[in-house]
């Protein structure tokens, strides 16, 4: 079974037990897991596939946080030929390494708003 999730504008194919690197985000210090609720597609073990329009309602992927790490160093070089202009700069992207722990239906939380009963509007004018 695998799923395709959307995270930070990228689509990632994940299966249970996979270790993936995602973009760093602000989390609480005691956070140990993260939930991806933007599931684009799901393929079961029996071969049936479910596609979302654009997302599958009620489906999510949970992952446990392993560590925050730095990616490989990338050299950024700018130069103009025959002008004596050359600049070199390095960059290391921060990633969050996670292990996918479960693919399944989301638990439904009661998010329905209770609205006050509407007052009956009178269409009659007060001037009689």
CB–CB of 71/93 below 8 Å?
A: yes
CA distance 79 to 47: 53
Q: What is the pLDDT of residues 12-56, one digit of tens each?
A: 999 999 999 999 988 888 888 999 999 999 998 888 888 888 898
Give the tokens for residue 85: 């202009």
CA distance 20 to 34: 12
pLDDT of residue 73: 97
Give the tokens for residue 108: 């439904």
Mean pLDDT to the nearest integer, 86-91: 97
Q: Is residue 102 over pLDDT 80?
A: yes
Lowest mean pLDDT among 77-81, 100-104, 119-123: 119-123
pLDDT of residue 87: 97
Q: Measure the N-to-C terminal CA separation of the chain; round to a whole number of Å.
A: 72
- Computed over every residue of the chain, the mean pLDDT equals 85
Give the tokens for residue 27: 């989390």
Any idea which residue has 């946080």 for tokens? 65
Q: Is residue 114 over pLDDT 80?
A: no
**Residue of higher predicted confidence among 125 and 70:** 70
DSSP state of 115: P
Q: Report percent pLDDT > 90 for the chain.
A: 54
CA distance 109 to 105: 12
Beta-bridge partners for 97: 21, 67
How many other C-beta atoms can be found within 10 angstroms of the C-beta atom of residue 127?
Answer: 4
């Amino acid at each position: 079974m695998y799923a395709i999730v959307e995270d930070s504008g990228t689509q990632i194919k994940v299966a249970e037990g996979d270790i993936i690197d995602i973009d760093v985000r602000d989390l609480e210090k005691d956070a140990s897991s993260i939930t991806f609720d933007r599931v684009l597609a799901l393929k079961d073990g029996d071969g049936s596939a479910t596609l979302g329009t654009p997302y599958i309602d009620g489906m999510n992927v949970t992952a446990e946080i392993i560590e925050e790490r730095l990616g490989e160093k990338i050299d950024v070089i700018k130069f103009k030929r025959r002008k004596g202009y050359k600049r070199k700069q390095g960059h290391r992207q921060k990633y969050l390494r996670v292990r996918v722990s479960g693919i399944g239906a989301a638990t439904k939380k009661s998010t329905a708003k209770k609205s006050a009963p509407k007052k009956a509007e009178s269409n009659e004018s007060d001037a009689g």
